[in-house]
């Protein structure tokens, strides 16, 4: 049976894709094959440039509007998002990273946006005519961002004054607006209280954006954002004052689920490349794939990816049914991300010098897949959460 299983589901598999979702997967593969072949992916990776043309095609096919409100042109749900993210991650991985952030911005604006201005921006996001980046992390706090948050928003007579710094803000160099979380009240009982969410024009006076050089995901900028006396009107508020961190939890959970799909895509692509090489490359008179050691780790890789896929789809079904998918999504992201990095690393070892060249995508799978071992939450933090929620162990943070 060929791998991956979505192409050849087992008869009676309850997690098999619907015909409509299978058609979406095939359409995306055809689009990627035509518009983003390996040579194009490498060109953009080397130039560290975003693929505007592919983004426009995704918008035309409705991919940017998946799970957005139908009244604004959206369609589908989280299960369709997972298909889109996985397929892009298996090819132009940077576009998958863009899509994860895009979906988070759409989710926040759809739930917490106010008035015609926010609705108009949401329509433009779905149409591919605008970009919004999420500015949450700060230099002094990663996982513990709420307690460590130093960005402040002070209410004035006509709105707010915003001061602080954000980091690891994906896509900010090309963004029209930023979703910024800032502390508006002091920490009392819980550090998540007293944080408010704002929509900030990226070119507003007092906003400075600087790109950060990163190891992977070269097709999407990663930036520091400096906020120095940025004046915002009352209409910049997203949702309720002091409840921004609680409001953003849902988007972070979805981001983790989409990260599982991204690493599934990376791991799948790396495994397919390794298997193809193992079948074709001969040493000592027989294919590399005939030797026990490479054969065993490739089998283990396929099992790990399929296990992660099952957990990811289970989490998606829980979310669609209105339940809390956080625990299962954490398991899926943890298994998929660690499998993807391990597959790419062993794939490079299997291919020897061939895997070390920039012309071969295996090294890019390693660089790009590495992102999701610590984003949106580190795998260490996920283990702590799983220990608490699944095993009932004492909270470690």
Catalytic residues: 255
Contacts for 275 with CB less than 8 Å, ≥ 6 apart: 3, 289, 298
Spatial distance between the Cα atoms of 113 and 235, rounded to a whole number of angstroms: 9
Peptide bond preceding 164: is omega within 30 degrees of 0, i.e. cis?
A: no
The candidate with the shortest Cα–Cα distance to 225, out of 239, 206, 251, is 206
Contacts for 213 with CB less than 8 Å, ≥ 6 apart: none
Spatial distance between the Cα atoms of 158 and 390, rounded to a whole number of angstroms: 47
What ranges in 191-325 are assigned the alpha helix state H? 244-280, 292-320
Q: Which residue has the tokens 């790990």?
A: 304
Radius of gyration of the chain (CA): 21
The candidate with the shortest Cα–Cα distance to 58, out of 94, 18, 15, is 94
DSSP string, 360-393: STHHHHHHHHGGGGSSSS-HHHHHHHHHHHHH-P
DSSP string, 161-187: EEEEEEEEEETGGG-SEEEEEEE-S--
Number of neighbouring beta carbons within 10 Å of residue 389: 15
- Where b means 16+ CB within 10 Å and e means fewer, 2-25 reads ebbbbeeeeeeeebbbeeebeebb
């Amino acid at each position: 049976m060929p791998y991956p299983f979505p192409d050849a589901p087992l008869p009676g598999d309850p997690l098999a894709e619907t015909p409509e979702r299978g058609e979406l997967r095939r359409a995306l593969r055809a689009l990627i094959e035509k518009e983003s072949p390996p040579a194009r992916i490498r060109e953009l990776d080397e130039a560290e440039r975003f693929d505007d043309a592919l983004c426009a095609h995704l918008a035309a096919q409705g991919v940017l509007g998946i799970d957005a409100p139908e009244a604004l042109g959206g369609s589908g749900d989280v299960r369709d998002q997972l298909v889109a993210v996985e397929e892009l991650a298996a090819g132009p991985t940077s576009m998958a990273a863009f899509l994860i952030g895009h979906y988070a911005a759409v989710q926040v604006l759809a739930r917490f946006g106010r008035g015609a201005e926010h609705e108009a921006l949401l329509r433009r996001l779905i149409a591919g005519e605008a970009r919004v980046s999420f500015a949450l992390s700060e230099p002094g706090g990663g996982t513990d961002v709420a307690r460590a948050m130093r960005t402040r928003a002070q209410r004035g007579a006509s709105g707010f004054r915003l001061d602080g710094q954000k980091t690891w803000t994906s896509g900010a160099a090309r963004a029209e607006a930023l979703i910024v979380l800032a502390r508006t009240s002091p920490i009392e009982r819980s550090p998540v209280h007293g944080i408010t969410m704002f929509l900030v024009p990226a070119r507003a006076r007092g906003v400075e954006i600087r790109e950060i050089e990163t190891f992977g995901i070269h097709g999407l900028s990663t930036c520091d954002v400096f906020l120095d006396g940025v004046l915002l009107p009352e209409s910049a508020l997203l949702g309720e004052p002091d409840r921004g961190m609680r409001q953003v939890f849902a988007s972070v959970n979805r981001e983790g689920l989409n990260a599982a799909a991204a690493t599934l895509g990376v791991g799948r692509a790396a495994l397919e490349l390794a298997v193809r090489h193992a079948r074709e490359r001969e040493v000592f008179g027989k294919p590399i794939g005939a030797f026990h050691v490479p054969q065993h780790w490739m089998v283990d890789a396929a099992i790990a990816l399929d296990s992660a896929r099952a957990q990811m789809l289970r989490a998606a079904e829980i979310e669609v049914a209105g339940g809390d998918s956080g625990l299962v999504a954490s398991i899926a992201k943890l298994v998929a991300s660690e499998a993807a990095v391990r597959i790419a690393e062993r794939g490079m070892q299997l291919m020897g010098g061939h895997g070390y060249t920039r012309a071969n995508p295996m090294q890019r799978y390693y660089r790009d897949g590495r992102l999701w071992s610590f984003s949106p939450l580190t795998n260490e933090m996920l283990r702590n959460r799983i220990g608490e929620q699944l095993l009932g162990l004492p909270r470690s943070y």
